[in-house]
A and B are shown apart, each in its own frame.
Chain A
């Protein structure tokens, strides 16, 4: 594999890691709220979070390009904050990936919170733990399997991201040229050998991810 290929691999891992960490942080309050609220807005927010599951990446990419562009509302905001515009930047890819992989992180965590239910919080409260204390001392440890699933899915889904990156990335080596785009370029340029290396790598990676998840799930069931 060429340097350009390795650079794409490194960039992809960096993007996926950063996105996953940020999503676990940002997704937790959203999942918490969705799991516990009785608000009528729950349906609406839940649907918005789940939207990337059904929307074609081209739709997300197109709207991000327009919204984050210099004339879009997000672009105007980032410009006024002195951040410039986000398309064609690594930051822009992170923002896009956060949106794109959001449901893959929020939903497993939300499911875990829902399965835990109210009772452990009530028990913790009668044992002198405030809600925040109980969240860290009881809920988080109990939700660990959910977090593990969320992290694996969020990471893997970000690695597999293509359409959105294609539309807002601008194919800049080291900043926005991720593995999936690099593969696309190789195929387009009829460089099938190079495409095979990266594609086979992705294939093995995806298999290992799913295998490790299944193994973990099974081990939990038998434990």
Chain B
């Protein structure tokens, strides 16, 4: 049927033996209807409903239509547009739909979805490094899935940490962190960790750089570690109550590869210390502690005690000597990347030097505030949260520390510089490349605590040699480095 109306020309036809489903035909109608000069289109099977629609559009085919026929009804502005539209219908009906390719990859948006999709029932660990305010929901996913989780993220409120760790205990899994930067699980280094040999000592660490110091010394002694389970710096606080520490101790106790356990931390809250000691006493594996305080041995001494207890000879800790002399009246300038290493240095230095001021002081009245360039004995922890806002950790980005070094040199204040350099996964791939020239330029006697192993990507000896070539004395033990600096200062008095 062909006709001319007040508004244009029409094509109405019925075809037999052609079937397409209604969705396809609605698509064809829409596409053809969008063509220039086409004013109305209905391409549909000639069902009663569609015939009624066609009639309503003034495009009814008249009598004799049956539902197994295809109705093509088009109104267009002129013959050219109409002919093109009919041809377009034919082309659309003839066209094969794009064949089904592989399903689009749907991104997994949550840790829970990722754990659901995990093809293994074997050991698995979730790690969370999203911004702190979002970390809780992700960590909770892991606990719900029955998986242990390491939370690198910081900025998690302590009450959320407690709730997570309680839930983890109920679920029989471990929460490492929040703000846990260091762990080694079955030889896999997570975050900032060194390449250390595997061995019988398990570490439970509330302190990242403390765990790195201890694991590196154990490696040097030929002993090695089974696992390093970080628990987050707040785990031994009154609020958290050592939840993860106690769970981690139990985990290592049950681990056949672990023969003894060393707990690395700052001094716990007294009530927590008692709870942890009670839990440790119930284990079959011997637990010793390297808890930094004025009354307890330094980390190196704690490792040495463990070695003696295990019947292993205490080695001479690696070092690179240097002929250094401090100027008269020199003061200690400790520039640290590792918070625990800074603490340890202050704890060793204070009985010798008296008060040491710091941004992370031993006593509140020694707080430097924001004036990091104060005169006198100073130890700065550049890894402190206040100094890492908006920039990478000083173990990765040395800028702030090198600037401080240059300022000290320029100030003319006589000083001995004590610096830690932490090697391993996640750390600056070549810290000596920037530090050695900076030390040389500063021209001050410098002592470096170089925490690492030969197997680390940076190589302990390579770094030590480069720093020694710049005139620094280098020690694998932070305690020894600190004492050497104190010796230099003592000789200068």
Say if A and B assemble together: no
Measured CB to CB, the residues of B under 8 A from A are none
